[in-house]
Structure 1
Amino acid sequence: MIEIEHLYKVWDDNDKAVVLKDINVTIQDGDIYALVGRSGAGKSTLLRCINGLTDYQSGSLRVDGREIKGLGEKEIRNLRRHIGMIFQQFSLLERETVYDNVALPMKCWKYPKASIDKKVLELLDLVGLSEKAQVRPRNLSGGQKQRVAIARALTMEPSILLCDEATSALDPKTTLSILDLLKEINRKIGITIVVVTHQMEVVRKICRRACIMEHGEVTVQGPVKDIFIEQPRSLMRLLGEGKAKLPEQGHNIRIAHLLNSLDEGKLFGQMYADLQCVFPIISGKIQSFEDDRLGIFVINVDDSQMGKVAAYLTEKGASWTELLPEVEDQNDEPEEDE
């Protein structure tokens, strides 16, 4: 488990460059958790705090019950043995074979050759590169290089895998294959995965919980589906979407429901038929979350119909909420690069 409480990080001793402000995040064992935000939000800095690459001035950050701040050099090295990490740039040794790249951490820790050979072959099979063991990185595609990096990160059997923009340099098809691989690794070995990304398709594809960071602060956190259903302002800013113009008359109701089968897609048609009235659809979108497809729609309901619509949606098990007028948000300026 990763437990972060009231964590502050500044770049100098005068508190002039506050990078992380009062961060409170808990990541459960076996979860796939996203740290999301634009460049400069502080997400990569928080990731480096988790594995001890960057210190922090105050607060608490515990990994498996051990406070990171104050650990000695030997203790930090032992901690990192249990934390794997992959990056946007694959950081492979170009003159070494795939086998030697994967074996490198175990060689550094002076594991027996037989143990190295067994583990490397197991991991290459896991990432689908058994036939590439003697190939050099220059002869691999970007996706294959990232698979090698994933295998290398798993050699020490870590309990946590940190992914820093690990798919940002890949094309969409290759990105999906890497995300599927990470999801399968999580399922097979139960490893906790922490994903730093600004790509919302990555969050929706594999992450179960997430937090959105802005200007070094966590503005929203919770289950990924809940965040997209509720559509907080920080999510809208991240997506680059403005506030939707809603009718001033009646009640504007946001509805979220599964669309994984034909029957689930008939909610509105059935509601029209059962209640004998028409509800204008103001907006709508369908998004995928892991293995689910979720429809998120806004309808407008007259005052006279509001009671029975609310009762109907509740009876059908749809997640719904009334959208209330919002105060204009002035915090939409671009952020600095991290």
Structure 2
Amino acid sequence: MSDADPDKARLEQASLWWLRLREDNVPAEEINAWLEWCQRDSANLQAFEKIESLGGQLGGLDVQTRASLLQELDAELAAPEPPRRRRSWTLALAAGLAALAVYGGMLAWRAPAPEAQQARYATVKAQSRELKMSDGSQVALGAASHLIVDYSSAQRALRLDDGEAYFQVAHNPHRPFVVSVGSLTVTAVGTAFNIRKTGPRVEVVVTQGVVDVARREGTQALTNPEPARLPEDGVIRVAAGQRVVADEDRRLLTVSPADRDAAIAWREGRQQFVDENLAVVVANLNRYARNEVQLGDASLEQLRYTGSIVQGRESEWLAAVEKVFPISAQQQADGRVLLYRRGAVAPRLSAAGE
């Protein structure tokens, strides 16, 4: 097999994923399968990003230019095997774009309107990405996160399914910027805010301007310990320096002051927490840590933690936690670290995948 063959096959698979994810009502299991494929090998994610970029460029061309380009791609694929390795990626990219045309029924026939943008972005463990949207807004996507973008001429809609993201929104009051996350929608006109989704828990911190937080249509209502903060329309206006926390398990929503710098410290390689449940801390640590940390005792989940975790120095954090809390850390044969209450018998963890 030539050096170009694995790259060619990878890009062809990436192009098929790209086309499938653009269809309406993609099942959750297919999205999960795509995420697993991206995370299986960093080269898979790079191939998908390359196809996504090239697909967008192809869709923006006029009919004549697009037809000419596809003819050139057909000629490139039909050419004899090149003698030099430096052409391997050219052939692979040609194969990927050709697959977009063949399997997608000429991709551009499905291309969005000029002002529209449709994309899916995913990061793997310990990876962050800086994204620039077509409207000039910027999104910093944290590790192990999944973001869907579906811009139309009337609304800039996004959905954060997992992880964390920081949004810096370009001002346009006639085209709302709306992020769906968990049971909430967060609407901004021109502002900046951070969203972190940890399982059923969603935290929104506004760093600039204001946002409106509301219950997403079709989800169960959340209650608030201070009903005066909830207007009749169910929309909470949150200003810079405030945060909203929605706990879907407890059906609870709270508004409180926030440390803006702490909320976005993750962009500098440091996660910072203020009076946070240890379960939430560990879940977010695991998005960046090489060795997964698990709580072996449910009673540890509600311990409150304030402090920082520096990416790549998780072992120092574990040593500090053992001093502050009644906790012992035990590393397993597969590299995972088990936290259990000091003095208790450490439970046995099954091997990963069992």
* Superposition TM-score, scaled by structure 1 size: 0.29
Which gives a bigger RCO, structure 1 or 2 (Cα 8 Å, sep 6+)? 1
* Superposition TM-score, scaled by structure 2 size: 0.28
